[in-house]
Amino acid sequence: MDCETPTPNLHWDIFCRVIDNFGDLGVAWRLACNLAERGQAVRLWADDISALAWMAPQGAPGVEVRAWTAPIDLTGVTPGDVLIEAFGCEIDPEFIAEYAKKVRNKAQKCAWINLEYLSAEDFAARCHGLPSPVMSGPGHGLLKYFFYPGFSVDTGGLLREPDLIKRQTQFDRQAWLTRQGLHWQGERLVSLFCYEPAGLGDLLDSLANDAKPTWLLVTHGRASVAVRAEILNKKSLNPSWNKGEALSFFYLPQLTQQDFDHLLWASDVNFVRGEDSLVRALWAGKPFVWQIYPQHDGAHAHKLKAFLDSLQAPASLRAFHFSWNGLKLLAAASRDAPFAPNDWQVCATQAKARLLQQGDLATQLLSFIAKIH
């Protein structure tokens, strides 16, 4: 997709329904900030904005945050030029009616985007950019377009700030760790952002029995709860577990998005979950393991395999991913999947380099909208 198309300065309305405060809202906020940095005016609507208080406490120039209430409050609101439905959320018919009126009165092109979930599966490239006529309701006659983030040149790319690499280059690992209160003396650093992964107990055993001392940097929330419960369980079964203290634990407070990036840059290995942190782990360029969100029909196993294929992951990293996620597709190999970050570093470095050659999501989205207008 041509990323050189001149882009007008437009007003964007981004809508997001929060299922996971860290993921859905995190992606929507990063997108809003990316667009604002490029001269766009952005209004972010979310049905739960509470997480922004710690995720982005300073806000961002050019981004207005609106509580998405039920019914929606349109007092003093004129719909923007571009509508974004993050992850297929449905915008209120009252808002669509006002948007349709604006489009028709000004004889401008409809720019209504369904921003889909991130996937490496084949359908993402097949469906990326396709129009879908709206056949009923207040938006009847308008066109909605499907926009798929992705890992290949025929998708919409990944969110990436223009100054990301510069900030990484200037990052001071030791200084950041010291500010967090961790007196690091060269131990291996492993960050953990997870739900309750099937492989957590095996990971803790592996690190506790390793000759190399490790700090496990545990994020606030479910990861901390899961780790503390696992430690209690292990010590109840074996009071001498981790007696040599090869494995140490450091529990982090809630981190801003910027400091979450810093955590990933500071660590030697990153365990992440969901969509937003996966992308940030890719940009960190460090070995990482992804806990994919489970689906009741098992579709997440195929999604994970497609991602590992796109990553060109070595066998040990594939096996560890399936073990970590409690999946059975590689059951014979996954139970004893090695924790082998040295083998995974080349994969992470090459993946980052490939992805940096592609247009980022905000740039591609701006180009796509410019063509519509």
Catalytic amino acids?
A: 24, 275
DSSP class of residue 71 equals S
Report the residue count for the chain. Answer: 373
Q: Please name the helix (run of DSSP H) or strand (run of DSSP E) that holds residue 76, with its range, or none.
A: none
CB-CB contact of 321 with 307 (8 Å): no
Spell out a b/e string for 105-119, using b for 16 or more CB atoms within 10 Å of the CB, else e.
eeeeebbbbbbbbbb
Q: Which residue has the tokens 């969110």?
A: 159
Q: Return d(Cα 148, Cα 156) in angstroms, integer.
A: 5
Q: Report CA-CA distances (Å) from 300 to 89, 272, 292.
A: 20, 15, 7
Residue 57, preceding peptide bond in cis (omega within 30° of 0): no
Give start and end residues of each alpha helix (H) in the chain: 24-37, 52-55, 93-106, 122-127, 164-170, 173-180, 200-208, 222-237, 257-266, 276-284, 299-311, 315-324, 331-334, 341-356, 361-372
- Residues 269, 273, 277, 278, CA torsion sign: positive
CA–CA separation, 50 vs 53, rounded Å? 6
Cα 45 to Cα 65: distance, rounded to the nearest angstrom: 6
Look at residue 263 and give its three-state secondary structure. helix
Rounded Cα–Cα distance for residues 150 and 157 (Å)? 5
Query: Which residues, including other chains, have CB under 8 Å from residue 35's CB and lie 6 or more apart?
Result: 12, 42, 62, 362, 365, 366
Tell me, what amino acid is at 137?
A: G
